Every structure is written in C-alpha cells, then in structure tokens.
Amino acid sequence: MRRGVVISLVVLGVLAVVLMVTVAWNGSKLDETRQESDDLQLEVDDLRQEVDTLTTERDDLQSKLDEQLKTIEQLKNKTGASTPADSSAASPSPSQAAP
C-alpha cells in the first residue's frame, strides 16, 4: 500500500510540474501577444493621426486650387472682354507657363 501511495504522489508531482510549465509557457505567449497587440494599436493610432493630417492638407490644397481656378476664370473673363489681339498677347504660351 505504501508503494502505491508513493507512486501516486510521484505521478501527481510530475503532473503538477507539467501543468506549471504549460501555464508558464502559455502565460509568456499571452504576454507576447498582448505586447504585439499594443504595438499594433500604437501604429494604428499613428496612422490615423497621419491620415487626419493628410486629409487636412488635402482640404487646404483643394481650397487653394478652387481659389486659383476661380482667379483664372476671372482673368479669362477680363481678357475675353478686351480685343482679340490683346488677349493673344496677354495669355502666356504653354512653354512660358510651365515651371
């Protein structure tokens, strides 16, 4: 009977050690996964901020473009009221307009 109890205790000890190792391994994997998740969340937040910044810049550029197009249209209307010879001299050629 004593031998059976000793064998049972040894088996329980081995099972306890295996269980502790398994829990520790899973715990470390969980910590790694959480760290990766936190890193990815920070990256997502940075990208959202960058998108917001780029959206604001795009909106600013779009409003500037709209203003410039409006100015160009007004200039076209002004030159259209003058004589045809004046309008051809006033409008730059495509080679002069390109930077």
Q: Report yes or no on whether pTM surpasses 0.85.
A: no
Rounded CA-CA distance 21/10 in Å is 17
The pLDDT value recorded for residue 98 is: 45
* Interval 25-82: pLDDT, tens: 999 999 999 999 999 999 999 999 999 999 999 999 999 999 999 999 999 998 876 5
Q: Which residue has the higher pLDDT, 7 or 80?
A: 7
CA end-to-end span of the chain: 100
Distance of CA 15 to the CA centre of its chain: 48
Rounded CA-CA distance 16/18 in Å is 5
Is residue 95 a contact partner of residue 87, using CB atoms and an 8 Å limit?
no
* Interval 10-22: pLDDT, tens: 999 999 999 999 9
